[in-house]
Structure formats: C-alpha cells, structure tokens
C-alpha cells in the first residue's frame, strides 16, 4: 500500500508513487533560511516531511529528497552585516546548528542539500530564459521582474481570486517592490534578480543586467530543476509558503520550461501555535530545541510531540503536550519490552528491525500502518499502536518486525528516548574516550568563541550517538 496525502493544488487525496521510469520518487522541500536557530515551528514542518519520506520508504518506495539551504536573502545579509562577518561564515554557523538539531531529532539527511549561493549560475540561466521568452523584464536599477500577467495560472495553488490579481510593481510607499516576502494582498510582479544596493555590502554577483543577487523565489526553481527535473513528484513546505513563494516558483518554473506541470503533488503542513497564539519573537513564545532541552525534555520527546498532530491541522504546542509525549514514549517502550521478553527477542535484535521492509498485512500493526498511509494520519496511527499493545494482539516475530518498520516510518527511537529519560534517567553512562576528546575540543572552541567549529564538533558527536550538555564550567555527555 502506498501512502496518500491531500494535494494542495487539487484538494484531492492523492496516492504517492514515482511517475518517472526510473521509479524514484522525487521530492523537494523548501529548506531553512540560515540566519538564526530554527524554531520548533520550522521543525514541525521539517519533521512532517521526514515522516512522509520515511513512510514512503517503509512502503518500499525509493525516494530522492532535496532540501535547499537559503544562505542569501534580505535577512541573512542584514544579520551578517550587523555582526561584521562574511555572509558565508555567518550562514555556515547557523547551517551547522540546523544540522545538529536535525540529527538530534532523528531526521534523515536529505539526499541532496544544495545551497543557494552555490547555484548562482543555474539561477542566472533561468532568469535569462524568462527575459528571453518575454515572461520577465529588466528595470532601470538592473533588477529583473517576473511579469505575472503573462502567466494565467498564477494564484491557482493558493486559490487566489483571479479578479483580485493585479499587476503592480510598486509597494504601498510607491517604491519598487523587491522584498523577498510581501503581504498577501499585494500581488505584484516579483524580483527574480535584484540590482546591487549599498546595503548589500560585498554580497553581489555579476549578471547580464549588472551586479546584483538573486531574489528568494528563483533559487528553489533553479535547484529543483537541476536535481529533480522540470516536473517532479512532490513539493513540500509550511502553509505560509503557498503564497507568494510557491505561486512564484510555479510561475517561474513553468514559464521557463514550458511544462504543463512543474510539481505533481503539493504538500503543505499547517502551523505550530504556542499555547493558542502564533509563535513569534515579539510575543516571547518562540522556542528552539535548546530551550526545551534546557527545561529537561529530550529531542525524542520533542519529535513525538511535534509529529503527533495531523499535518493539515494547526498544532497547539503546550508543555502539557510535551509531558504527554514523554509518557507516551515510556508507555510504548514498556509495552514493547514486555512483548520482546515474552517472545525471547533481544533489544539488539529489535533495533535491527527498525528499518523499511516489513510486511504489515495480517500483523497486529496493520491498522496503524493503514492510518499512516491514509493522508499521513500520525495521531491515528499512534492510537492504533496503543490499541494493538493493549489488546494483547502482538504475538509473533512478524508483529515485532512490523512494529520496527512503523518506528522507522515515524522516526521514533524508543531506546534513545529511554536513555534520555523517558523511562528512567540513566543518561549519565560513561562516554568512550573518542567522544570525550571531541567534546573537549568543542569546549575549547566554544571558549575561544569559534562557534562554527564548536557547532560542527557538536554535530559530529551527535552523529556518533552522543549529546553534549553544557554546564557552567564544563560539559556532560549522554547517549542520544
């Protein structure tokens, strides 16, 4: 059985399967803008995409997953210049931090993770093509704009009323509208290329239209085309990206390639709210993974809490929700251990079953698998898992293997959860010398304020299965 989701474009339930002859499912997800730590709202979206990919793999589908790094835009340039560091040094530091958080949350690394600044040539080629075929025009300041009146399908994804579409290339102040993001009611020609401005500092590239830098939207069109082709299977992002980012991507990609369709299925996840309010810096309710770890929660508990709402419904993040996730993980582990013991299966053997490939049909976990495949219903799947354990229907090796593949699909490592305190607080086991050496080097780098080195050492330690916890005058190590 293949997973299905609701395609934002058609609003219909759509079975996901590779359309190309090579039988590889090609999925593109808009990645982070690396100018600070990703917050748990960003991670809700990235985790849902991780669960979708894992579920496809558990169904036996080969997936090529591309997720970009936005390392040049208005925000990254502004923040790096404020600190007086190069754009590259600044964005690499936040990219490393993002990777460390992803590893802690047990997310699979994308197959390809291209950076915008390393694909300027591809972006320029796309812009040139759009100028050449009349879908874009050059303005006096050397910027290039996409002309949305040349693309009748503009607005279909987000359901914008065609009557309300109007071409306007000035903002309310009467200036050229070059911002990477703009308000919903301001449907305007958008910048593909931005002529150089003094506030860009050293961050510019040469182009046929003069020095400048790419607009935000063009990078995803250029990189998805390069790695997945003119038409690919699935494109994902948070619901806020529908308009304007994804509308703009569709317009650019289709007008450049001439293809009838650039993306077969659109996958959008609803926002994470915090205690009923939108998460924002100004409300002071914006949390990062570090903030939650400092309060004693483990990344696995955070993962469980963030994936446990349906992807098309807003999830209200609460500390009670995190406590519930902690109890659910502990309960699941307890049930699993009882079944393993009665079947004479070791924990080590079970860990080997946490991979794609098990047969679900006819096992105790078939209902959970069906729920996951039916519009990626994670909360229902979790409920079915508890029902299977409670009804004592987990009786065979096949059941345990199916449970292992389900854990792979959800990305839940029950034993990591226990080491981090879900069942008992046995985290303070002694780390091997190699890990201690890496942690010491990280501590030194941190003291010397070389945060980029410190973050990449932290990521290396995480990749080896350990988490560093900073204390006032040193560090602790515990198993991830």
Q: Which residues of the chain form contacts with Zn ion (CB under 5 A)?
A: 30, 220
Give which of 455, 226, 217, 416 is closest to 330, Cα–Cα: 416
CB of 137 to ligand AMP, least distance (A): 27
| Calpha distance 224→193 (Å, rounded) | 18
CB of 97 to ligand AMP, least distance (A): 13
**Tally of CB atoms within 10 A around 367:** 18
Tell me which of 114, 212, 237, 404 binds ligand AMP, using CB under 6 A: 237
φ and ψ of 396, to 5 deg: -125, 165
Does residue 33 interact with ligand AMP by CB under 6 A? yes
The site partner of 240 among Zn ion, ligand AMP, none (C-beta below 5 to 8 Å per kind) is ligand AMP
The Cα angle at residue 142 between residues 139 and 147, in degrees rounded to 5: 40
Nearer to ligand AMP, 76 or 252 (CB): 76
Does residue 461 interact with ligand AMP by CB under 6 A? no
- Which residues have CB under 8 Å from 310's CB, separation 6+? 375, 376, 377, 378, 379
CB of 267 to ligand AMP, least distance (A): 10
Nearer to ligand AMP, 45 or 377 (CB): 45
The site partner of 289 among Zn ion, ligand AMP, none (C-beta below 5 to 8 Å per kind) is none
Whether the Cβ atoms of residue 212 and residue 204 lie closer than 8 Å to each other: yes
Does residue 312 interact with ligand AMP by CB under 6 A? no
The Cα angle at residue 332 between residues 331 and 336, in degrees rounded to 5: 120
DSSP 301-314: HHHHHHHSS-TTS-
| Calpha distance 46→289 (Å, rounded) | 13
Tell me which of 3, 18, 32, 244 binds ligand AMP, using CB under 6 A: 32
Does residue 228 interact with ligand AMP by CB under 6 A? no
Tell me which of 79, 125, 141, 240 binds ligand AMP, using CB under 6 A: 240
Tell me which of 88, 147, 197, 271 binds ligand AMP, using CB under 6 A: 271
Tell me which of 3, 18, 37, 41 binds ligand AMP, using CB under 6 A: 41
Stretch near ligand AMP under the rule CB under 6 A, chosen from 147-155, 234-242, 388-396, 423-431: 234-242
Compute CA distances 47 → 242, 365, 411, whole Å: 18, 22, 9
Nearer to ligand AMP, 48 or 58 (CB): 48
CB of 282 to ligand AMP, least distance (A): 14
Sign (positive/negative) of CA torsion 290, 325, 304, 268?
A: negative
Q: What are the residues binding ligand AMP (CB under 6 A)?
A: 30, 32-33, 41-42, 44-45, 237-238, 240-241, 271-272, 279
């Amino acid at each position: 059985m293949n997973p299905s989701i609701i395609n934002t474009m058609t609003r219909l339930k759509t079975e996901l399967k590779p359309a190309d002859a090579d039988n590889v499912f090609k999925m593109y997800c808009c990645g982070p803008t690396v100018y600070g730590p990703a917050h748990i709202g960003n991670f809700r979206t990235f985790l849902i995409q991780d669960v979708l990919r894992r579920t496809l793999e558990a169904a036996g589908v080969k997936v090529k997953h591309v997720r970009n790094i936005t390392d040049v835009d208005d925000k990254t340039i502004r923040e790096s210049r404020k600190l007086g560091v190069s754009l590259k040094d600044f964005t690499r530091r936040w990219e490393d931090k993002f990777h460390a958080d992803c590893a802690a949350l047990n997310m699979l690394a994308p197959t390809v993770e291209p950076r915008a600044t390393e694909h300027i040539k591809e972006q320029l080629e796309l812009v040139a093509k759009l100028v050449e075929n009349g879908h874009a025009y050059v303005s006096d300041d050397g910027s290039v704009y996409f002309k949305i009146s040349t693309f009748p399908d503009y607005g279909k994804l987000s359901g914008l009323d065609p009557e309300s579409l109007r071409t306007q290339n000035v903002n309310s102040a009467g200036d050229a509208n070059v911002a990477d993001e703009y308000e919903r009611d301001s449907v305007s020609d958008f910048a593909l290329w931005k002529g150089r401005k003094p506030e860009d500092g050293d961050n510019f590239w040469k182009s046929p239209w003069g020095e400048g830098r790419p607009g935000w939207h063009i990078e995803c069109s250029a990189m998805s085309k390069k790695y997945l082709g003119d038409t690919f299977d699935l494109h994902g992002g948070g619901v806020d990206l529908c308009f304007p980012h994804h509308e703009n991507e569709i317009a650019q990609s289709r007008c450049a390639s001439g293809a009838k369709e650039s993306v077969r299925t659109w996958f959008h996840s609803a926002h994470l709210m915090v205690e009923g309010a939108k998460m924002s810096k100004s409300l002071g309710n914006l949390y990062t993974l570090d903030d939650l770890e400092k309060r004693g929660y483990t990344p696995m508990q955070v993962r469980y809490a963030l994936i446990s709402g349906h992807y098309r419904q807003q999830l209200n993040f609460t500390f009670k929700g995190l406590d519930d996730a902690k109890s659910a993980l502990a309960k699941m582990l307890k049930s699993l251990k009882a079944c393993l013991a009665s079947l004479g299966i070791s924990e080590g053997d079970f860990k080997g079953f946490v991979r794609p490939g098990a047969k679900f049909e006819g096992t105790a976990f078939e209902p959970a698998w069906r729920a996951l495949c039916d519009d990626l219903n994670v909360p229902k799947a979790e409920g079915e898992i508890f029902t299977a354990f409670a009804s004592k229907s987990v009786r065979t090796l096949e059941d345990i293997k199916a449970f292992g593949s389900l854990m792979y699909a959800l990305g839940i490592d029950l034993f990591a959860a226990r080491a981090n305190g879900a069942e008992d607080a046995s985290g303070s086991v002694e780390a091997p010398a190699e890990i201690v050496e890496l942690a010491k080097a990280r501590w030194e780098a941190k003291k010397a304020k070389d945060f980029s080195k410190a973050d990449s050492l932290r990521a290396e330690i995480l990749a080896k299965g350990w988490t560093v916890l900073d204390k006032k005058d040193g560090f602790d190590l515990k198993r991830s």
